[in-house]
Structure 1
Amino acid sequence: MNTSLMIANRQTFFGPGSLRELLPLLQGNPLPTLLFCGQSFLQGEAWQALESGLAPLLTGTEIVRHEASPQEIDAWVERWRGKVHRVVAIGGGSVLDAAKAFATMSQHPLATLRYLEKVGDTPVTGETLPLIAVPTTAGTGSEVTQNAVVTDKKDIRVKASLRHANFVPDVAILDPELLKGTPDSILACCAIDAFTHLFEAYLSSKGNLFTRQTALSGLRAFVHAWPNLNRTDQAGDDAREQMLLASWLGGASLSMAGLGVIHGIAGELGAIRDFHHGEVCGRLLLPFLTLLADEENAQQQTLMSALVEELFPGFTVPPARLLTAWLKDNAITPFWEAPPSLSEEEVSWVLARANSKNALVNYSEAQQRFMIEEAYRVA
């Protein structure tokens, strides 16, 4: 593949304390602004420090409690259409995706489902409101991707995207201080989501030297950060900053090269169960690495050897097995333990819809079933 498109923010602020850039950005260009955030943000120190300056600049606030449904997005649009001209999103991936979806649908006349991938019948136009994205977790990379994920678990059971290059947030503010105090389980599950984005993009059939070097840069940052995410000293501060970088690079990588079979399964599972997406990816990653260890695809073997030599020079263990051991040995919490249960009906539903996406290998239904059954208790 000879060409690639780099998707990136028009402006990115990075580093400890960079949240302080938000108020000057808003004050320098006064517009009616809607804030999307999580309830936990409004109860935290960052909001306390910002509130007196930020609140007068806002037309309103919407609280995002989970992955947004089409109906919730439509309700926000009905409430705010024509009343706001800019959006600020401060939160995890669900918050950022909800804000991106609202910014887009507020500029489109039809209901969200009409535009949604997999089920819609109308293409998006690319019209959207300007958006400032401030992630408070390091995993999804939504602050730099061109898609807004929308989930309907009740009616049509679908997890899909609104997607256009114009939907990349205009501004990203990446402040690792916002990750302080995050529970270990959230830190680890978000981080393993970032790893999966980077890893699947690195192994993508759409990849080339440019996309793989981008992913490799993110994987280096991940390896530096993974063991120390919850430390309260300088090593912890450095780790959270590195993981925020890994997450951003993961979003850029997946935008260029796409994802693989892990997300091909995880996206369908996310349409029917309220599992944390990062945890789903992490649980599926480990059995995928088992498959990878025995996979004979020559290009994949070459890429894996090059990857592990870059990350762990002088390795002697087979690459996929080394990665599995290192991820488990250095995790701040054993996210793969105590697996939830799935019914056989749910497994069959997922397998009927899952696919290998952009993986170099077309994984069979039997191989995908192996991944699910290794990751979950199937009753």
Structure 2
Amino acid sequence: MSPLIALCSNQQTLSGYGALHQLPTLLGHTAGDVLLFASPSFLASAHWATLAPHIAATLVDIVTVTHEASPQQLNDWVTTWRGRCRTVVAIGGGSTLDAGKAFSTLACHPLPAERYLEKIGDTALTAERLTFLAIPTTAGTGSEVTQNAVVTDTAVLKTKASLRHPNLVPDYAILDPALLRGTPAAVLANCGIDAFTHLFEAYLSRQANPLTRALSLTGLRLFVEAWPFLADSDTRGEAAREKMLNASWLGGLCLASAGLGVIHGIAGELGALKPWHHGKVCGQLLLPFFDRLAENENEAQQSLLHELNHQLFPLAQQQFPAQHLKLWITDNACSPFWQTTERLTPAQVTAIAERATNKYSLVDYSAADRAGLITRAWPEGHH
């Protein structure tokens, strides 16, 4: 029997070049009093210069987001803005969207942020939150359609955890690929491989069912069509970035419904320790994970991999689908996301591996297995 899956999506998702210009119209359907969460790069862009006059009348203030929000930062924002805004708009990468999303719910809850966090909290979120609109400027996290907001504290609590509730899915998402123009190739690759990992882990999840696998497969097809041309400046690049943005949205929908696997189980714990780019971390773990998939003889997993490879590359008769995927991704990347000078100590590798979970992987991986993935992703980390 297939698992029972609940799909929670936006009330409206507007997708396509120029979609950002629909924001003033959407805000006309909300309660107004808008607090904007935005990345510095967006606020410095021509997009903001064009948009700002059209929303100035309803704008209460702007919160600039430079990194993943901590519980204390969220608590400070709530203290400052509770009761002073009725609508939240977030424009930026995943950190910006998650910060706005977290604020939109915490502003309607009485306790500090840490009380509601998974792993360490003791209180469940309710459905209450402010109206929330999400506009990604990167194509990777899918935060504009997920049911969670990531909160990170590397200083005090040493945790990376989520606020989670089905009502955390934003009311509206605007996917405008024009916002990705000029993004450095390294950022496009790091975010794109995050989108792939969401789709791939959701496809292989033991919680997946035919509906979520169909959505994952659609997103993975878009990824394959986009990946080789992601950083191109011509019309082919424009089309590729639009496809990746939609693949990212599908990845967010699939991860929220079917769950993720061991790569994200490790990445979450590593993120509590190191302020490394989440997508890059996932990408570096993905390559040794492909090797593990090739070695593993789990019948259900191998069947899914062969079917995936056939769907994505119908002309490639590959006996080893995991290795074929690995080579295709590395050969067609616009930037070598797997290269790093970062290192982990043996104690850090052990701590991350022991605290990590396998999430919804089809196969169980021991702490030693997880440590092996980590040390293969960061080869000198075990020296």
Give the structure-2-normalised TM-score.
Answer: 0.97
Q: Distance in 1 between matches of 2:26 and 2:338?
A: 41
C-alpha offsets along residues 246-284 of structure 1, whole Å, 9 cap, x if unaligned?
000000000110000000000000001010000000000
**1:371 is matched with which residue?**
373
Q: Distance in 2 between matches of 1:93 and 1:228?
A: 22
**2:182 is matched with which residue?**
181
Q: Distance in 1 between matches of 2:26 and 2:216?
A: 30
Alpha-carbon distance change, 283 to 339 in structure 1, aligned in 2, over 3 angstroms: farther
Q: Distance in 1 between matches of 2:85 and 2:211?
A: 38
2:184 is the counterpart of 1:148: no
- The sequence identity of aligned pairs, in percent, is 53
Q: Secondary structure at the match of 1:9?
A: coil
Which deviates more from structure 2 when the two are superposed, residues 54-63 or residues 182-191? 54-63
Q: Distance in 1 between matches of 2:3 and 2:28?
A: 43
Structure 1 residue corresponding to 2:338, chosen from 336, 359, 366: 336
**2:105 is matched with which residue?**
104
Is the contact made by 1:339 and 1:375 (CA closer than 8 Å) also made in structure 2?
Answer: no
The one-letter code of the counterpart of 1:46 is: H
The one-letter code of the counterpart of 1:51 is: A
The one-letter code of the counterpart of 1:322 is: H
**2:240 is matched with which residue?**
239
C-alpha offsets along residues 43-81 of structure 1, whole Å, 9 cap, x if unaligned?
111001112222232001100010000000000000000
Is the contact made by 2:9 and 2:169 (CA closer than 8 Å) also made in structure 1?
Answer: yes
Consecutive unaligned residues of structure 1, counting only runs of 5 or more, are none
Aligned length: 379
Q: Distance in 1 between matches of 2:30 and 2:315?
A: 53
**1:300 is matched with which residue?**
301
**2:165 is matched with which residue?**
164
State the 1:28 CA deviation: 4.2
2:8 is the counterpart of 1:27: no
Q: Secondary structure at the match of 1:342?
A: coil
C-alpha offsets along residues 314-340 of structure 1, whole Å, 9 cap, x if unaligned?
323310000000000000011111341
**1:267 is matched with which residue?**
268
Is the contact made by 2:31 and 2:86 (CA closer than 8 Å) also made in structure 1?
Answer: no
Q: Distance in 2 between matches of 1:355 and 1:92?
A: 26
Q: Distance in 2 between matches of 1:353 and 1:69?
A: 20
Is the contact made by 2:227 and 2:240 (CA closer than 8 Å) also made in structure 1?
Answer: yes
Q: Distance in 2 between matches of 1:304 and 1:352?
A: 28
Q: Secondary structure at the match of 1:196?
A: helix
Q: Secondary structure at the match of 1:341?
A: coil
C-alpha offsets along residues 170-196 of structure 1, whole Å, 9 cap, x if unaligned?
000000000000111110000000000
Matches within 5 A, 1:1-379: 1-317=2-318, 318-376=320-378, 377-378=380-381, 379=383
The one-letter code of the counterpart of 1:358 is: Y
State the 1:30 CA deviation: 4.9
Which deviates more from structure 2 when the two are superposed, residues 252-261 or residues 367-376? 367-376
Q: Distance in 2 between matches of 1:26 and 1:295?
A: 51
Alpha-carbon distance change, 48 to 267 in structure 1, aligned in 2, over 3 angstroms: same
Is the contact made by 1:32 and 1:59 (CA closer than 8 Å) also made in structure 2?
Answer: yes
State the 1:25 CA deviation: 1.5
Alpha-carbon distance change, 339 to 361 in structure 1, aligned in 2, over 3 angstroms: farther
- Alignment RMSD: 0.9
State the 1:31 CA deviation: 1.3
State the 1:18 CA deviation: 0.4
The one-letter code of the counterpart of 2:259 is: G
Q: Distance in 2 between matches of 1:50 and 1:6?
A: 32
Alpha-carbon distance change, 30 to 122 in structure 1, aligned in 2, over 3 angstroms: closer
Alpha-carbon distance change, 134 to 7 in structure 1, aligned in 2, over 3 angstroms: same
The one-letter code of the counterpart of 1:202 is: Y
Q: Secondary structure at the match of 1:34?
A: strand
C-alpha offsets along residues 97-151 of structure 1, whole Å, 9 cap, x if unaligned?
0001000100000000001000001111121111010000000000000101100
Q: Distance in 2 between matches of 1:161 and 1:338?
A: 27
Q: Distance in 2 between matches of 1:352 and 1:366?
A: 8
Q: Distance in 2 between matches of 1:92 and 1:27?
A: 24
Q: Secondary structure at the match of 1:267?
A: helix
The one-letter code of the counterpart of 1:227 is: P
Give the structure-1-normalised TM-score.
Answer: 0.98
State the 1:237 CA deviation: 0.6
C-alpha offsets along residues 211-270 of structure 1, whole Å, 9 cap, x if unaligned?
100100000000000011111111001000000010000000001100000000000000
Q: Distance in 1 between matches of 2:49 and 2:109?
A: 35
Q: Distance in 2 between matches of 1:156 and 1:23?
A: 39
Q: Distance in 1 between matches of 2:375 and 2:290?
A: 14
Q: Secondary structure at the match of 1:367?
A: helix
